[in-house]
Amino acid sequence: MINFLLVIFVISMLYAATTSRMEANVKVLSIQGVLFFLMVLPNFSHIPFSDFLFLCTETLVVKTILIPLILMYIIRKNKAYREVEPYIPGFYSMVITAVLFVFGFIMAYYAGRVSHDVKPLYFGISMSVIMTGLFIIMSRKKIITHIMGYMFMENGIFLLSLSVAREMPLIVNLGILLDIFVGVFILVVFYNKLRSAFESEKMNIDKLDYLKD
């Protein structure tokens, strides 16, 4: 069951790295929140109930509903529906993302041989997701896409924490959740301030060139 969920997670990342539709990326983030919840469920008997309840709230409420709603509101308010001119076209993005996941599976193989405390498949996919999130940030122009790339990287970090810890302490979960809120809050404020300053619907990172000395 877990392997099937991880396969769906990989497919969702491949889709996110190739699509130019902003709302599609937000829906992928929401789907990944549901997948995380389903991955946490089998650990119910191995972690304290308070930690389990927190994880369910984090995955179902924050990752699946709250943050996607915030991002969807920003997209529709600013009419930023598509990534029109990415640095790398969709086909090449898919190839690069596939290579990143192959690299992740290789890392999973060696991680399984080196340490028995690491869940190899979790570890390999999490590293690939982190690199894919970074690739999305580097290959896209719109600032809102960079926000979502950051969120994909955070999902990879969450998956990495599942791979290296049999039990996720509450303090670790609180740190991850605080990181999500602070990051999204700062980036959304930053995005809105830039848009009001430039008074343009086409908010690309190219606009930041005007801020140079």
The mean of the pLDDT values for the chain is 77
**Higher pLDDT, residue 21 or 166:** 21
pTM of the predicted model as reported, rounded to 2 decimal places: 0.79
- pLDDT higher than threshold 70 for residue 164: no
Q: What is the domain extent for residue 107?
A: 2-211
Task: Summarize pLDDT for 127-136 with one digit per residue, the tens.
Answer: 899 999 999 8
- pLDDT higher than threshold 60 for residue 170: no
* Structural domains in the chain (count): 1
Contact 185/179 with Cβ under 8 angstroms?
no
- pLDDT higher than threshold 80 for residue 172: no
Buried b / exposed e across 102-123, counting CB within 10 Å, b at 16+?
eebeebbeebeeeeeebbbbbb
Average pLDDT over residues 149-159: 85
**Higher pLDDT, residue 15 or 42:** 15
For 40, the token pair is: 């946490």
